[in-house]
Structure 1
Amino acid sequence: MAEIKPNNEEEQKTQSTMEWAREKYNEQYEAWMPWIEDTFLKYFTKDNRTSYVARDSLDKTKVTGVEQVDKLQDGANDLAASQIGQGGIMEPVGNLASEGMKRADPRGKGENTKGGLNVPVVSGLGL
């Protein structure tokens, strides 16, 4: 019996279609994910990017395994991070640093963009 082999042209066409779909998905992900992250932080937490990163980094610096000391350190970390978050004394500094983080974000960098939020409709609203 003859061995049936798939048509090489059909396989290439299907593969190129899948590659095209993957590429388009990645483009949309890179364009919208920074905005989604910012919107989530704005409405569901008291953080901006800067305070979120500060809180996460400070949580990784547990000095001891003693529960009381860790709770004290958690309180100090939360206080420090909340001061640069929404409603904190240093909120303008946190927002400025967050904008810098968005511009440095490798996602959203296309041929005609400077990185960060490259969705003009959303960024035009000031979100």
Structure 2
Amino acid sequence: MADIKLSNEEEEQKRQSTMEWAREKYNEQYESWMPWIEDTFLKYFTKDNRTSYVTRDSLDKTKVTGIEQVDKLQDGVNDLGASQLGQGGILQPVGDLASQGMKLADPRGKGKDSNGGSNIPVVSSLGL
């Protein structure tokens, strides 16, 4: 049997296609796992769900003055408002419902083998 040697150009093309395949598979797994990782992190390490986290983040960007005392008061009010949508808050059912809607609208995890970022996704297209 004779060894078939690839030219430098063919070898580079094969290496490039392997890198493209690896990049594509990495992106698929990232898009599948990140929504689940975010939800798990918020559940166990904060008192937030997606809704309260987004609310808190949005309110933090609305600083009115540069006065430290006023900003501290505003932070307290913002935290109070956002925590009512999070775990243990009086509006937690509303926050959970909105979080589910946000999860369904999340552009990540929309591949053919994923379930929209809810629950643990399949590991690969092979079902492993």
TM-score tier, shorter chain, comes to 0.7 to 0.9
Shift, 1:115, TM fit: 3.0
- The unaligned stretches of length 5 or more in structure 1 are 1-5, 122-127
Letter in 2 for 1:75: G
Letter of the structure 1 residue corresponding to residue 117 of structure 2: G
* 1:59 partner letter: D
Q: Which one-letter code corresponds to 2:108 in the other structure?
A: R
For residue 76 of structure 2, what is the amino acid of its counterpart? G
Query: In structure 1, how many angstroms separate the alpha carbons of the residues matched to 2:75 and 2:23?
Result: 41
Offset of residue 61 of structure 1: 0.1
For residue 75 of structure 2, what is the aligned residue in structure 1? 74
**TM-score, normalising length from structure 2?**
0.85
SS in 2 for 1:101: helix
Q: In the alignment, residue 107 of structure 1 is paired with which amino acid?
A: R
CA positional deviation for 1:118: 6.9
Q: Which residue of 1 aligns with 2:86?
A: 85
CA distance in 2, matches of 1:38, 1:55: 16
TM-superposed CA distance for 1:110, in Å, is 1.2
Q: Counterpart in 2 of 1:111?
A: 112
Superposition misfits of 4+ residues, deviation over 6 angstroms? none
Contact 2:32 2:121 in 1 (8 A): no
| 1:61 aligned residue | 62
Contact kept, 8 Å, 1:103 with 1:114, in 2: the verdict is no
Distance in 1, matches of 2:96 and 2:86, equals 8
Report the equivalent of 1:125: none
CA displacement at 1:116 relative to structure 2: 3.0
Aligned length: 116
Structure 1 residues 114 and 44 mapped into 2: Cα distance closer, same or farther (>3 Å)? closer
Supply the distance in 2 between the matched residues of 1:32 and 1:89 (Cα, whole angstroms).
Answer: 30
**Equivalent position amino acid for 1:62 in 2:** K
